[in-house]
Amino acid sequence: MTQATLKRVIHVEFAPEVRSAKEDGLTSVRARRNLLVGHWAGGLLGLRDEALAHYAHALHISDHVTTGDGDVIAKLKQDFEQNSVVVEHDEILRVLRDGHRQALRETSCTE
């Protein structure tokens, strides 16, 4: 994947002023879920290593646009479509649910 494609997929500019993981709430269940889903989606998009980590973080950031999961789902669908990756809506919902359950286990939360 080229840098131009990666930038189009991520839809966020990563700069030093990006908040720390703690400020972004990366310790929360929802944030952990977003990172898990971001790694799944990024893998389908062919991203690896640092690009995959950046994509997962970008997905987490996209969750702050609106209440609920609509913003995350819209970003995933847009990124898949732009890269000719076919993933059904129900599959995205299943991965979000599975990611949430895994995040609950990993953070030892009882949400």
92: domain range?
26-107
Please check whether residue 26 is in contact with residue 35, taking contact to mean a CB–CB distance below 8 angstroms. Answer: yes
Please check whether residue 72 is in contact with residue 63, taking contact to mean a CB–CB distance below 8 angstroms. Answer: yes
How many structural domains compose the chain? Answer: 1
What does the pLDDT read at residue 11? Answer: 45
* The length of the chain, given as a count of residues: 111
Its pTM stands at 0.76
CATH number at residue 54: 1.10.790.20
**For every one of its 111 residues, what pLDDT tens digit does the chain have, with 9 covering 90 and above?**
444 444 444 444 333 333 444 444 445 899 999 999 999 999 999 999 999 999 999 999 998 888 889 999 999 999 999 999 999 999 999 999 999 999 988 887 655
What does the pLDDT read at residue 109? Answer: 67
For residue 92, being part of any structural domain is answered with yes
For residue 80, being part of any structural domain is answered with yes
